[in-house]
Amino acid sequence: MITQQQNTDKQNDLQIKKTACTRCGICCKKGGPSIHFEDRELIEKGNIPLKYLFTIRPDEPLFDNIKEKIEPAKSDIIKIKNKNNSHACIFYDPDDSGCQIYEARPLECRKLKCWDTKEIVSFYDTTRISRKELLFSLDELWSLVLNHQDRCSYQKVATLAGQIKQNKNDHTALQKLNDIIQYDSSLRQLMVEKNPMISEKLEFLFGRPLTLTILLYGLKLKQSSDIIKENNNKSEKILTKYMT
Ligand code: SF4
């Protein structure tokens, strides 16, 4: 693991050696950028398709690279996905250390100077764009996104996870949290059943599955087919309401 001191040494090294981007790919290997208002046209024109984006939802625990600590996200943060099993941006091409969308790369990538981070630090958490502003042709799904956001909010998840950590026999909290996670899962399943094309956009619409992000709270998941079935019925009703 790289320590803060090693990081600083590395940055000092870079400050000495670099004054322009050499397309070394180091920044691209650390993960995809967040999307800002200034990038809206790139998404609208399809330079960066929605299937390559995912959403960090409000209050979701997030490691802030600049502050070097985990904090709840203040709003939607839309990011470019990473490659499977890697931290590298999905558009990073390791064969020539290059960006596959270099001419249409987002604002953060255009502004980042690894040898002088002042500019990016000044704007990285401003002008962030939300899901609503990027829905375009999927506009009719907004009510469904809002409903999911309400039922599966990270505020609720954090409160219930806190109660369970204090008392692992708090069955009411366990049941409520299980219901939220199963609702999130069954909603995704039903969306794909109704429209298989939507599967690659699920992480943009509803963020990462709670079955994964619950691990951020130090909790493990237990499956129950009865609860899944029960929640499938509830989700079916809600989907029918918004998709017909
Ligand atoms: S979009 Fe391109 S420049 Fe930006 S992190 Fe990804 S590969 Fe690198």
Instruction: Tell which wins on pLDDT, 232 or 121.
Output: 121
Residue nearest to atom 1 of ligand 1 (CA): 105
Claim to verify: residue 177 and residue 225 sit in the same structural domain: yes
Q: How far is the CA of 115 from the centre of ligand 1 (A)?
A: 17
Claim to verify: residue 31 and residue 59 sit in the same structural domain: yes
In the chain, how many domains are there? Answer: 2
- Protein residues with CB under 6 Å of any ligand 1 atom: 28, 32-33, 80, 89, 91-92, 99, 101, 105, 109
Give, for ligand 1, the residue of 29, 52, 91, 124 to mutate: max count of ligand atoms closer than 8 Å to Cβ: 91
The structure tokens 């401003």 sit at 126
Claim to verify: residue 47 and residue 83 sit in the same structural domain: yes
Q: Which atom of ligand 1 is nearest to the CA of 98?
A: 7
Please check whether residue 50 is in contact with residue 121, taking contact to mean a CB–CB distance below 8 angstroms.
Answer: no
Claim to verify: residue 65 and residue 127 sit in the same structural domain: yes
Q: How far is the CA of 47 from the centre of ligand 1 (A)?
A: 13
What digits encode the pLDDT tens for the residues 155-184? Answer: 999 999 999 999 989 999 999 999 999 999
What is the domain extent for residue 182?
Answer: 138-243
Non-local (6+) Cβ contacts of 132 within 8 A are: 142, 145
What digits encode the pLDDT tens for the residues 124-157? Answer: 889 999 999 998 877 789 999 999 999 999 999 9
Residues 103-108, mean pLDDT to the nearest whole number: 95
Residue nearest to atom 8 of ligand 1 (CA): 28
Judged against a pLDDT cut of 60, whether residue 188 lies above it is answered with: yes
Residues forming a β-bridge with 54:
79
Question: From residue 148, how far is each of 35, 99, 119, 193 by CA, in Å?
Answer: 22, 34, 36, 17
